C-alpha cells in the first residue's frame, strides 16, 4: 500500500527466508539482520512498529504439545525481560502519534497483559487504543475489557474438534503522544 517497511531480526536464516517470501510475493521491504534492542534505527523514527515478540509459544500448545514439556518457569522470566527491552526500544524509535502493536503467541499473562501494563506504567507518553470487534471479524469474545486481543484455544469451536479452536494469541495497540 505504498508504505516503506523495515523488517528487523537477529537471525540471518529468518531474514533470508523473509527475503525469499518477499520476492515470491513481489513485495518490498528493507531487511536488517540486527538485534533490535541494539539497533540505532532511523533518526526520524517510525510511524508504526509491530513487535511480534519472541515468547514461550504456549499459545501453540494444541498444535505443538511438546511446548508443555520444553518450557520452564525460567523461560517466562527470560522472555518477559527481553520483551520489555524490545518494547522500551520500540517506544524510543516511534514518532509522536505513531502506533505500536505488540503481540505474542503466548497464553502467559506476563508475556501479554502484564507486559503492556508494565510498559504503560513506565511510559506516560503511551496510551492504549482499544481493538474493536469489527476489526477482528466481529468476534467480541476475543476482545478483553482493556481492549486488547486475547484468543484462546477454546475460541471458534467446531463439531469436529480437529477443525475447531484457535491458537492462544495476544495483541495490544498503543499510540505515542
Residue range 48-52: average pLDDT? 98
Residues 109 and 55 in one domain: yes
Domain containing 4 equals 1-34
Give the span between the Cα atoms of 90 and 112, in whole angstroms: 16
- Residue 39 within a domain: no
Residue-level pLDDT at 125 = 95
* 161 has pLDDT over 90: no
Residues 78 and 22 in one domain: no
**Is residue 4 located within the same domain as residue 75?**
no
Task: Tell me, rounded to whole angstroms, the distance of Cα 10 from its chain centroid.
Answer: 16
Query: How far is CA 76 from its chain centroid?
Result: 15
Tell me: pLDDT of 160 over 80: yes
| Per-residue confidence (pLDDT) for residue 109, from 0 to 100 | 97
Structural domains in the chain (count): 2
Would the pLDDT of 2 be above 90?
Answer: no
Report the 10 Å Cβ neighbour count for 40.
7
**Is 49 within a domain?**
yes
Q: What is the CATH number of the domain that holds 154?
A: 3.40.50.150
Residues 29 and 78 in one domain: no
CB 6 within 8 A of CB 93: no
Q: Does the pLDDT of residue 1 top 80, yes or no?
A: no
User: What's the pLDDT score for residue 71?
Assistant: 93
Which residues are marked as active site? Answer: 105
Asked whether residue 31 carries a pLDDT value surpassing 80, the answer given is: yes
Q: 87: pLDDT confidence band, cut at 50, 70 and 90?
A: very high
Nearest to 110 by CA among 88, 78, 62: 78
* Residue 10 CB-density burial (10 A; 0-12 exposed, 13-18 middle, 19+ buried): middle
Rounded CA-CA distance 112/141 in Å is 17
- The Cα diameter of the chain in Å comes to 53
- Quick check: 111 and 104 in contact, CB under 8 A? yes
Amino acid at each position: 500500500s505504498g508504505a516503506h517497511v523495515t523488517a528487523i531480526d537477529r537471525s540471518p536464516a529468518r531474514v533470508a527466508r523473509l527475503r525469499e517470501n518477499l520476492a515470491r510475493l513481489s513485495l518490498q521491504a528493507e531487511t536488517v539482520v540486527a538485534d533490535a534492542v541494539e539497533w540505532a534505527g532511523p533518526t526520524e523514527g517510525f510511524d508504526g512498529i509491530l513487535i511480534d515478540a519472541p515468547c514461550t509459544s504456549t499459545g501453540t500448545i494444541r498444535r505443538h504439545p511438546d511446548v508443555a514439556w520444553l518450557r520452564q518457569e525460567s523461560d517466562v522470566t527470560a522472555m518477559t525481560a527481553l520483551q520489555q527491552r524490545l518494547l522500551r526500544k520500540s517506544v524510543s524509535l516511534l514518532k509522536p502519534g505513531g502506533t505500536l502493536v505488540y503481540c505474542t503467541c503466548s497464553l502467559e499473562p506476563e508475556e501479554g497483559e502484564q507486559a503492556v501494563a508494565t510498559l504503560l506504567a513506565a511510559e506516560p507518553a503511551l496510551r492504549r487504543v482499544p481493538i474493536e470487534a469489527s476489526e477482528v471479524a466481529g468476534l467480541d469474545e476475543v476482545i478483553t475489557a482493556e481492549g486488547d486481543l486475547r484468543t484462546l484455544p477454546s475460541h471458534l469451536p467446531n463439531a469436529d474438534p480437529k477443525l475447531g479452536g484457535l491458537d492462544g494469541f495476544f495483541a495490544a495497540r498503543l499510540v505515542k503522544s
